[in-house]
């Protein structure tokens, strides 16, 4: 089972690099070898490498910046995955692609299933939804993992930002009216490897969209409070604020908890509770 991964330096890509090494023949590609702003560069790699599985861990992930760069976000998040999926279809390879909770509008009050109506509110969410739809249209052999609120011991993310601000010793104001499931990129990569293992064992009936987040839910404020509790920062005051008090260029869903039951039923994979995952992440910081 030969694997080609787009994006090794990101949060999920770097976890995949650690977890796949020695397990499968795997090739990772980043800029400048490929540039997803030029989708043809990805197609050329799929054709020349002839993998059995392509994992697309690369994306335009700057949610606020995307509001001002809709064309670039669309090319990287929709046209490039579409081209990859079409190239995979040519050689009967499977594509594993990541998407986001931001395809939902956040108006729900119970966890979103994979069939729940999508209505992205931001340019980023729209570009990721267009990517999902293009991948689905281009290849039957697709597995799309919608995830949320990713963080890692590597890369830039909410956890790293909070710890940096805490080091300055000032009270922190954190949004308390957006609810979701913080997800350790390592656990998402583990789930991905579980799916690859199933494909390697000959699994042929597990294609489609799956939700994949750590279990449980909290607000950004709850996430920060837990982070400071676990790191012994009793000195840090975390003040809950509303979204209106922290305006951002891109709107975020107020509620974006995803039901991950299909992943559990289909692959027997369940990501651990977010608090336990955060503890493991902190141990690696
Ligand atoms: N981060 C989140 O909270 C979150 C939430 C839900 C879903 N997701 C999805 O989960 C997946 C993984 O996210 P992540 O947090 O691991 O992303 P990340 O850490 O931001 O990494 C993104 C990767 O994409 C690469 N990339 C960006 N532009 C590129 C281009 N033009 N050509 C080639 N590579 C390019 C980056 O490389 P460079 O660093 O070299 O640019 C990097 O390797 C993405 O599909 C994302 O949309 C993320």
Does residue 100 have its Cβ closer than 6 Å to ligand 1? yes
Asked if 250 and 126 touch (Cβ cutoff 8 Å), the reply is no
Give the contacts of 21 (CB within 8 A, at least 6 positions apart).
none
> What are the chain's domains?
3-152+183-214+258-272 (3.40.50.720)
Q: The whole model's pTM is what?
A: 0.98
Active site members: 124
Asked if 70 and 130 touch (Cβ cutoff 8 Å), the reply is no
Does residue 31 have its Cβ closer than 6 Å to ligand 1? yes
The percent of residues above 90 in pLDDT, for the chain, comes to 95
Query: What is the CB-side half-sphere exposure of residue 68 using CA atoms within 13 A?
Result: 5
- Average pLDDT, whole number, for the chain? 97
Asked if 205 and 262 touch (Cβ cutoff 8 Å), the reply is no
According to DSSP, residue 212 is labeled -
pLDDT at 224 over 90: yes
Does residue 60 have its Cβ closer than 6 Å to ligand 1? yes
Does residue 75 have its Cβ closer than 6 Å to ligand 1? no
* Mean pLDDT value of segment 208-214: 98
Query: What pLDDT, on the 0 to 100 scale, is given for residue 169?
Result: 80
- Which residue's C-alpha comes closest to atom 18 of ligand 1? 10
CA of 187 to the centre of ligand 1 (A): 16
- Which residue's C-alpha comes closest to atom 34 of ligand 1? 58
- Report the range of poorest mean pLDDT among 14-23, 46-55, 57-66, 164-173: 164-173
């Amino acid at each position: 089972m030969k694997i080609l991964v787009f994006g090794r330096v990101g949060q999920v890509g770097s976890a995949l690099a650690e977890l796949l090494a020695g397990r499968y023949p795997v090739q990772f590609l980043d800029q400048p070898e490929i540039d997803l702003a030029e989708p043809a560069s990805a197609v050329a790699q799929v054709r020349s490498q002839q993998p059995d599985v392509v994992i697309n861990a690369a994306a335009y992930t700057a949610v606020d910046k995307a509001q001002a760069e809709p064309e670039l976000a669309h090319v990287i998040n929709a046209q490039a995955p579409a081209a990859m999926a079409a190239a995979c279809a040519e050689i009967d390879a499977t594509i594993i692609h990541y998407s986001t909770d931001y395809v939902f509008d956040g108006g729900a009050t119970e966890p979103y299933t994979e069939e729940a109506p999508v209505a992205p509110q931001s340019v980023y969410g729209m570009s990721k939804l267009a990517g999902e739809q293009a991948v689905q249209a281009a290849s039957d052999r697709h597995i799309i993992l919608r995830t949320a609120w990713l963080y890692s011991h590597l890369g830039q993310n909410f956890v790293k930002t909070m710890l940096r601000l805490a080091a300055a010793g000032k009270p922190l104001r954190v949004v308390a009216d957006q609810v979701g499931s913080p997800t350790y990129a390592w656990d998402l990569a583990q789930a991905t490897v579980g799916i690859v293992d199933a494909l390697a064992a000959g699994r042929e009936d597990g294609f489609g969209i799956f939700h994949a987040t750590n279990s449980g839910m909290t607000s950004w404020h709850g996430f920060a409070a837990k982070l400071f509790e676990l790191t012994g920062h009793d000195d840090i005051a975390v003040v809950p604020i509303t979204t209106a008090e922290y305006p951002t260029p891109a709107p975020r869903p107020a509620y974006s908890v995803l039901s991950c039951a299909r992943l559990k039923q289909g692959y027997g994979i369940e990501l651990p509770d977010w608090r336990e995952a955060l503890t493991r992440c902190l141990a690696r910081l």
